[in-house]
Amino acid sequence: MGQAAPTDLSRYVYPLARPIRCPSVTLDVTDYPEGKEWGEAAKGLVQIWFTHVSQLLATDGMDPITRQKRGERFAVPREIKLVIKRNIDPPAYAQGGTITVKGPWITAHPDDLGLIIHEMTHVIQAYPDSDKTPGWLVEGIADYIRWWRYEPELHATKGRTKIDPAKSNYTDAYRTTAVWLAWCTQTYDRRLVPALDKAMRDREDPMPIFARLTGKTADELWKQFVTESAPR
């Protein structure tokens, strides 16, 4: 009797990149001193989780200061600045190595430290400008890191993101994309998110990655996700 073909175990293994040490982190609460306690807690999270998140994405080859890739220069910031402002529109945003947080938001939601993980993920992503980098996927990966890697138990306690198939699509970004990515990862291949991240770092179209690792297009995966996630 012939032996059965060996199972490809690689799809069950989340591929961790080598850790990157966190740059120095500074906190500026000049415009919103009431946010100092929250800011110190957020600063501590960045100092610990920068290294963890660098391992969860495809950051191999990225030097703690700079890296060379295809003749271009990409930089990990020498410093991460956390700035709490009184008057900004979104709860938070990242630009370069600076993460700006809305003070009144954290006062009203002091437990929302997970938003700093989302924004710090953007600092690490730092994808080069390319028309092949879908914004919805960038935001979806950042929320995936937050909700399925940093605080999955909190998301489970509050209830998984409920998808309305009539109004939603995997391109909706944020939690909708994140819950779909988590399902794809758990159902098909745990290498999916790092592979998508690497493609965007390399200015490549990430969409063929879905078919390569799962055997299905993104549209087909969404259709299956909606069918299997529908209430019974």
Overall pTM > 0.85: yes
pLDDT per residue rounded down to tens, the chain (232 residues): 444 445 689 999 999 999 999 999 999 999 999 999 999 999 999 999 999 999 999 988 765 554 444 444 456 888 999 999 999 999 999 999 999 999 999 999 999 999 999 999 999 999 988 898 999 999 999 999 999 999 987 666 555 667 787 789 999 999 999 999 999 999 999 999 999 999 999 999 999 999 999 999 999 999 999 998 765 4
> Which pLDDT belongs to residue 128?
87
What is the pLDDT at residue 230? 63
Cβ atoms 154, 62 nearer than 8 A:
no
**Domain-wise residue ranges, the chain:** 18-126, 130-232
Q: What is the pLDDT of residue 2?
A: 46
Residue 67 Cα distances to 25, 60, 132, 191, 202, angstroms: 20, 10, 21, 23, 13
Q: What whole-number distance in Å separates Cα of residue 46 and Cα of residue 77?
A: 13
Helix (H) / strand (E) containing 109:
none
Residue 75 three-state SS: strand
